[in-house]
Structure 1
Amino acid sequence: MGAPLFIVWRESVEALLVIGILYAWLRRENLLSLTKQLWIGTGLGLALAGLLAITFWVASNWFAGAGGEWFFTGMMFVASLLILQMVIWMHRHGRGMKKHLEQEAADSLTKTGSGLGILILAMLAVAREGSETVVFLAGIGVQQQGSSLGLFILGGVLGFVLALLTFWLLQKSSKIISWKWFFLISEFLLLLIGGGLMISAFDKAAAQISAYNLPDWLYSFMDDYLWSSAWLIPDNSTLTGLTGYHAEPSLMQVMVLAIYWILAILFCKIRFKNKTTH
């Protein structure tokens, strides 16, 4: 329940932020008559994300056997890379997101002369956040196969409720908790989940190719553990799902997680250096 709760919470807050920025811009520009288009665009964005969720559900039921296992492996791999890409994008463009959205809203209104541009802008923004949520949850759902569907859904519902409360607190009490710290902490937690998804994807791929006749060194690379920390923290599906932790990690798992975090730190560091030099 923890990972779905966090994903829905984080992505819902970001979607609410986008809609809040557009609504505040309409109010500041005395264009509240276009609020209807804003809400219609929001609804259409949610519908597009829902359509993607249905597509994933149909695909997951259609695939079977080895093909299905590779499909689910790819789903986790894509979700992990998408988390990494999103965190990097937020580091590069997060500060200018408000200005960028307002400029896009102004440009769309100038071009169309109606609320259609606002509708499309809201639809695309919400569809993007919703689609990311669907992909993340799909990857986590595969990773946590065997867990209760009811708990998974409950985590998502609680995540959305928590997102509404968080957004309200961030709007009303920015001195207590700022958007800067919200994004920093949530991005770190997202990377933890992304790393866990990446390891799960490689574990699933390793299980598939282990059926073939492979060199002994490759089996050792994928299966032999480097150390054991079971005496301190035993294997736990929740902890593994959230962080990629294994009590007895193989060289493959250690290398995958290390490369994932090195890429995240490297790209974020490059962004920080670029910011300080300009």
Structure 2
Amino acid sequence: MNQSLFIVWRESIEALLVIGILYAWINQQAEPRRARAYLWAGVTLGLLLSGLLALIILFAGQWLAGAAGEWFQAALVLLASLLILQMVGWMRRHGRTLKQDLLQNADGQLNRRGGLGMLFLAMLAVGREGSETVVFLYGLGVHKQGPELWRFALGGALGLGLAALTFILLQSSSRLISWRRFFVLSETVLLLIGAALLVAGLDRVSGQLMAMELPEQVYSWFGDALWDSSAWLDDASGLGAILANFTGYRAMPSAATVTALACYWGLVSLWLRRLSPKKPPRDLTCPA
């Protein structure tokens, strides 16, 4: 539940940020009424595209049975982990000039293509965030069933409401929370979830490899535990379960799991250091 709440919360705020900037800019134009109609049409189409992607993924997961289905699910979980890294990197590169770039793009689209350009821009912005959310939620919830699945869905619904409230607080320029603090804190949690998705995908890959006829070294690399810390921090309940969901913690990790996490955080550290802006992000509040 907590994972789905955070993902929907974070992605919805990004979508609301884009919509808010475009909406405020439209209100400054000579004929805002017509442009607003195209904006909301683009938002609707972006949501429909995200829903279509969700249906395709669900049907594909049900259609592929046995080992093929397991490999498909493992691939999507690993893809979700990579998308989180891509999203964090994109915000590192473009967050400082996001509002300026978006407004320039909107102005160019409106001049060249009229309302259809605004529709296309809003559709891409919302569709991008929605598609990422679909992949993330599938990767996090693919193994959930029954009451656990309902709690997962409830977390996503609560995330929408929390996103609207957070957006209002951020737009009010409250001293308690700012866009800079929001992106720094949410970036950290996203990277932790990315690590958890990486381990979850690796677990599925390991399960499939264990069913194959492979050299003994492969079985020991992916199947044998390096240590067992379940006696004092079990990954199936309590604090250990929370760490497992948000960091990829395993009480009995294999050599492949430990190596994957070490490489993940090592590469993330080097990569984000290169992407870090020299100046702090500019204010992302919508223009008045």
TM over 0.5: yes
Query: Structure 1 counterpart of 2:248, which letter?
Result: G
Aligned residue pairs total 275
Counterpart of 1:185 in structure 2 is 185
Measured after TM superposition, the shift of residue 217 of structure 1 is 2.2
Aligned counterpart, 1:148:
148
* Match for residue 265 of structure 1 among 254, 265, 269: 269
8 Å CA contact retained: 2:225, 2:255: yes
Letter in 2 for 1:25: W
CA root-mean-square deviation = 1.7
Q: Which runs of 4+ in 1 moved over 6 A?
A: 273-276
AA matched with 1:91 = R
Which SS does the other structure have where 2:27 is aligned?
helix
Which residue does 1:122 correspond to in 2? 122
Aligned match of 1:244: 248
| CA distance in structure 1 between the aligned counterparts of 2:54 and 2:255, rounded to whole angstroms | 35
Give the corresponding residue for 1:201: 201
Out of 91-100 and 258-267, give the one that drifted further: 258-267
Is the partner of 1:247 in helix, strand or coil? coil
Q: Could you tell me which residue of structure 1 aligns to residue 286 of structure 2?
A: none
User: Which residue is 1:53 aligned to?
Assistant: 54
What is the CA deviation profile of residues 224-255 of structure 1, one whole-angstrom value per residue up to 9, with x for unaligned ones?
Answer: 22223223321134432221001121111111
Q: Percent identity?
A: 52
Are 1:92 and 2:96 counterparts? Answer: no
Amino acid of the structure 2 residue aligned with 1:131: S
In 2 relative to 1, CA 232–205 (structure 1 residues): closer, same or farther, beyond 3 Å? same
Counterpart of 2:220 in structure 1 is 220
Q: CA deviation at 1:128?
A: 0.4
Kindly report which structure 2 residues correspond to 1:161-176, keeping only aligned pairs within 5 A, or say none. Answer: 161-176=161-176
Alignment of 1:20-31 (within 5 A): 20-31=20-31
TM-score, structure 1 as length reference? 0.94
Residues 188/267 of structure 1: CA separation in 2 closer, same or farther (3 Å cut) = same
Give the conservation status (yes or no) of the 8 Å contact 2:225–2:252: yes
Q: CA deviation at 1:146?
A: 6.4
Q: Which amino acid aligns with 2:61?
A: S
Q: Which amino acid aligns with 2:243?
A: L
| 1:161/1:149 CA distance change after superposition, 3 Å | same
The one-character-per-residue Cα deviations of 1:9-59 (angstroms, maximum 9, x if unpaired) are 000000000000111111233442211111111111101101111111111
Q: Secondary structure at the match of 1:246?
A: coil
Offset at residue 145 of structure 1 (A): 5.4
Letter in 2 for 1:184: V
Equivalents in 2 of 1:97, 1:9: separation in Å?
A: 19
Unaligned runs of 5+ in 1: none
Aligned partners of 1:95, 1:147: CA distance in 2, in Å? Answer: 42
Give me the whole-angstrom Cα distance separating, in 2, the residues matched to 1:274 and 1:219.
46
> CA shift at 1:110, angstroms?
1.1
Contact persistence 1:192–1:243 (CA under 8 A): yes
Contact 1:143 1:200 in 2 (8 A): no
Displacement of 1:266 in angstroms is: 1.2
Unaligned runs of 5+ in 2: 281-288
- Asked whether the equivalents of residues 4 and 155 of structure 1 are also in contact (C-alpha less than 8 Å), the reply is yes
For 2:167, the aligned partner's letter is: F
- Return the letter of the residue paired with 2:269: I
Q: 1:17 to 1:117 in 2, by over 3 A?
A: same
Give the counterpart letter for 1:53 in structure 2. A
| Residue in structure 1 matched with residue 109 of structure 2 by the alignment | 108
